[in-house]
Amino acid sequence: MNFIKRSITDVLLQRLTKEHIVVLTGARQTGKTTLCESILPGLLGTPFSYISFDDPDERLRFQKSAIEILESLDTPLIILDEVQKIPALFDPLKYVVDKQKKQRIKRAYILTGSSQILLMKNIKETLAGRVALFNLYPFSLSEVIGSGDTPFLTRVWGGKTITDNNLKSFNILSTETTRNTMNVRNEHQLWGGYPPIWMRETKEDKIKWLKDYRKTYIERDVLDVGQIANIDNFIVAQKLLCARTGQIFSISEVARDLSLAVNTIKRYIKLLN
């Protein structure tokens, strides 16, 4: 299977060779599991162990004997998926990693989570200063176009070297390539960058997926961590905020339009990030 190259891949590979724990957060369906399970191990050329805490049996197993299980994993790379679902993991993981450091045992742990609020809370309380943090977003335009490398403007803003070849590349695109790129750009602007969207062919399938995704997001993630008294207010606020994309943003104005407190809107925005 061919995968779209993620621009975060090279940086992740570098940090995995230096850090004991790398944390990868991001919304549901942005490609975290695919990147960690199907792409990174192949690029590293190393055996790996994969455990998903979406599985209730795995959660129960770790709650009973997390230290013993972690110490029994002998692959150089260990991927722990959806770790926000098992807060009891973090103290044992800290203990095992510190012990392995003293024994000079090289293990790299990748922790993924789709609920950034819950995950970051546990990291700050237990693993602060011990992890490299990354966030995986949906496909960017440069990723779906297939440029693979760091986007040109990102290089400029980051103060990186711009070569003559970078500059020449703007002048050698054929008419057909330019047309195809514009078509991809239009699709990306219309539908966004979530990977499952790019696997669906028809407009109807894409709309259905987006509706199902939004329903899952509200019913599972927001209600789990948001402590929202009135979910209908949150849904209306979400629609209003979407309608103001690309405009000058005023929290007080949004709060006034919705007849809600400013702090409530701030909390909604935090949940949407």
Over residues 218-248, the pLDDT tens digits come to 777 777 666 677 888 888 998 899 888 888 8
Model confidence at 107, in pLDDT bands (50, 70, 90)? very high
Residue type for position 76 = P
Rounded distance between C-alpha atoms, residue 10 and residue 19, angstroms: 14
Model confidence at 125, in pLDDT bands (50, 70, 90)? confident
pLDDT at 139: 94
Q: Average the pLDDT over 187-201 and give the result.
A: 94
pLDDT at 165: 64
Evaluate if residue 149 carries a pLDDT over 70.
no
Rounded distance between C-alpha atoms, residue 203 and residue 192, angstroms: 13
Evaluate if residue 100 carries a pLDDT over 80.
yes
pLDDT at 160: 60
Q: Is 28 helix (H, G, I), strand (E, B) or coil?
A: coil
Model confidence at 147, in pLDDT bands (50, 70, 90)? low
Rounded distance between C-alpha atoms, residue 268 and residue 273, angstroms: 9
Model pTM greater than 0.85?
no
Residue 108, beta-bridge partner list: 77
List the domains of the chain with CATH numbers: 9-135 (3.40.50.300), 140-191 (no CATH)
Rounded distance between C-alpha atoms, residue 9 and residue 38, angstroms: 12
pLDDT at 163: 66
pLDDT at 228: 77
Quick one: CA dihedral 151, 152, 156, 157, positive or negative?
Answer: negative
pLDDT at 152: 59
Q: Average the pLDDT over 93-121 and give the result.
A: 86
pLDDT tens sequence across 29-77:
999 999 999 999 999 999 999 999 999 999 999 999 999 999 999 999 9
pLDDT tens sequence across 151-175:
556 666 665 666 666 665 555 567 7
83 CB-contact burial (10 Å; exposed 0-12 / middle 13-18 / buried 19+): buried
In this structure, the dihedral spanned by the alpha carbons of residues 182, 187, 190 and 196, taken in order and rounded to 10 degrees, is -150
What does the radius of gyration of the chain's CA atoms come to, in whole angstroms?
21
